[in-house]
Structure 1
Amino acid sequence: MDTTNSTVFIPGATSGIGLALALRLQQAGSTVVIGGRRQALLDSIASEHGLDTVQVDVADADSIRQAAETVLAAHPSLDTLVTMSGIMRNEDLRDPAHITDAVEIVETNLVGTIRLIDAFLPHLLGRPSATVMTVSSGLAFVPLTATPTYSATKAGVHAYTQALRQQLVGSSVEVLELAPPAVATDLMGGQDFGGMPLDAFIDEVVGLVESGAAPEILVQNVLPLRWAERDGTHQHILEAMAGTGH
């Protein structure tokens, strides 16, 4: 992925990691379109930063199709999709009422990722060089007890990304996976998880992308989670995160 000369669509980029990445790619020289559900927020970001925007709800198939049509009509040179959208909620699995949250999380994080890729992949396969970057999480590898469905969807995104990458071997589309650690954002209403500062995270991510790191974009802070199974530390980290609430 060329950070200086790409045309990028990032749904789920009205705040947090998504917006920070969008602004950094714009600063590097790429054309960036961001998507989100709230039109007023999109308008504000467009006015402040000069980013192109499109309204999209990744939990709604029709919304994704309409957004794809809008983005591709305005930016036929689009060559990069970053599936940033995601929601994270605490769940008490002893309470059957959690299923409402669980279904919404699966619909947004996993099914939304699949639908976004479906909507843009035919176009990307027609480009001389293109990139799909999915966004999983360190919690794909060691789940956070308090957010079981979120963790499960990110494990699903990881597996789906691996299969997509293998299916596209020999094509013009590179498939990357960004697996963030805990980062200080508003994902859980701004709760303090002791996450790494957003600017430091984005600095490291962009540096990795520019260095050609592939197929997984892994900052140093996420490595203990990514390799926990291999290193024999999985149960220890699982229990430690459950005990501290991180």
Structure 2
Amino acid sequence: MQLSGNTIFITGATSGIGRGLAEAFHRLGNQVIISGRRKALLDEVTAANPGMQGIELDITSPESIKSVSEWLMSTHPTLNVLINNAGLMPFDDPAAEIDDAVSLTILTTNLLGPIRMTSALIEHLKAQPSAAIIHNTSVVAFMPLAGNAVYSASKAALHSYTQTQRFALRDTRVKVIEIAPPWVNTDLIYKSDDPRAMPLEAYIEDTMRQLGTDEEEIIVDGIRALRDNPGTGEYALIARFNQSLVDNPIPVG
């Protein structure tokens, strides 16, 4: 994708990877609009990055998504990049009773949030000269964690959705990109400074480098072997299967 000259909206961008991407794109001269639930944090980030804008968004609320998307299209008609970054990662135990309310919140935030946000903006993005949708999944989409079972499942589902959406938009000007971070030293759970976690600055630098290419799936070298577990040719297979259904539709009725 092109790394400059964009109008970019990023969800969940007041800390961690979201803030890192927002500031990296901002430094390249893009118009960046960030969102989050807490106005104080939005104000803190935008004050540190003059020219960046912020808007409050509850990604679990369809009404909030509708309101923010309408504001974006009206106030920023050149909006051409959506980065679905907002997410949460509570611990759980699939061998025990799992709190249903927590599971619903994870799935509403991590899966329905990106689906709803993209749906609200998709026709606007399709009308731009060039556009991109970037979904932030995770290495756990390919290598799930037993201690974060619902989170892992939500990211695997978003990975699946990303690939089908890429296929569905193949004949449009909208590029669909997946970034799948490794363990990055952020406060998604808590900032541990564990030496096994990739430093945030290094992750952002490598991700921005790869975003500047034609790659559709952004994987840092440290997790490539884990991604290769299901096979990096996975999308080609999915594309061929979907194309076969386009060419030979399943009879209805």
TM-score (norm 1): 0.90
**CA offsets 1:169-203 (integer angstroms, 9 cap, x no match):** 11010110111111000000224552100000001
The aligned residue for residue 17 of structure 1 is 17
Instruction: State, as a whole percentage, how many aligned pairs show the same letter.
Output: 37
Alignment-derived partner of residue 239 in structure 1? none
How do 1:160-239 residues align onto structure 2 when only pairs under 5 Å count? 160-192=161-193, 194-210=196-212, 212-230=213-231
Q: Deviations over 1:127-155 (max 9, x none)?
A: 11100011111100010110001000100
The CA distance in 1 between the partners of 2:191 and 2:144, in whole Å, is 20
Mapped to 2, the partners of 1:219 and 1:131 lie a distance apart of 20
Distance 2:96 2:116 in 1: 30
Q: Which moved more, 1:201-210 or 1:64-73?
A: 64-73
Report the CA distance between 1:93 and its aligned residue: 2.5
Give the corresponding residue for 1:7: 7
Give the whole-Å Cα distance in 2 for the aligned partners of 1:42 and 1:192: 24
Task: Measure the CA separation in 2 of the matches of 1:198 and 1:97.
Answer: 31
Does the residue aligned with 2:208 lie in a helix, a strand or coil? helix
User: What residue identity is the alignment partner of 2:15?
Assistant: S
Deviates more, 1:192-201 or 1:140-149: 192-201
The residue that corresponds to 2:239 in the other structure is: none
Matched, 1:77 2:74: no
Letter in 1 for 2:158: V
Q: Larger deviation: 90-99 or 144-153? A: 90-99
Mapped partners of 2:230, 2:96: distance in 1: 30
Displacement after TM superposition at 1:223 (Å)? 0.8
**1:91 matched to which residue of 2?**
92
Is the CA contact (8 Å cut-off) linking 2:207 and 2:218 kept in structure 1? yes
The aligned residue for residue 236 of structure 1 is none
Unpaired runs of at least 5, structure 1: 232-246
CA distance in 1, matches of 2:143, 2:123: 33
Q: For residue 95 of structure 1, report the CA deviation from its aligned partner.
A: 3.5
Look up the match of 1:142. 143
Match of 2:251 in 1: none
Query: Does the aligned pair in 1 maintain the 2:93–2:146 contact within 8 Å?
Result: no
* 127 and 188 in structure 1: CA distance in 2 versus 1, 3 angstrom threshold: same
Give yes or no for the alignment of 1:48 onto 2:57.
Answer: no
Q: Distance in 2 between matches of 1:197 and 1:215?
A: 23
Query: For residues 42 and 98 of structure 2, what CA distance do their matches in structure 1 show?
Result: 33
SS state of the match for residue 79, structure 2? coil
Letter of the 2:203 partner, please give it: F
CA distance, structure 1, for counterparts of residue 82 and residue 173 of structure 2:
14
Worse-superposed segment, 149-158 or 43-52: 43-52
Q: Is 1:129 the counterpart of 2:121 in the alignment?
A: no
**Counterpart code for 2:205:** D
Q: CA RMSD in A?
A: 1.4
Q: 165-174 or 89-98: which moved more?
A: 89-98
Stretches of structure 2 that go unaligned for 5 or more consecutive residues are: 233-253
The letter for the 2-side match of 1:64 is I
Counterparts of 1:167 and 1:70 in 2: how far apart (Å)?
26
- How many angstroms does 1:222 deviate by? 2.0
Which residue identity lines up with residue 122 of structure 1 in the other structure?
E
How many angstroms apart in 1 are the aligned matches of 2:144 and 2:95? 17
Tell me if the contact between 2:94 and 2:146 (Cα under 8 Å) persists in the aligned partners.
no
SS at 1:14 equivalent: coil
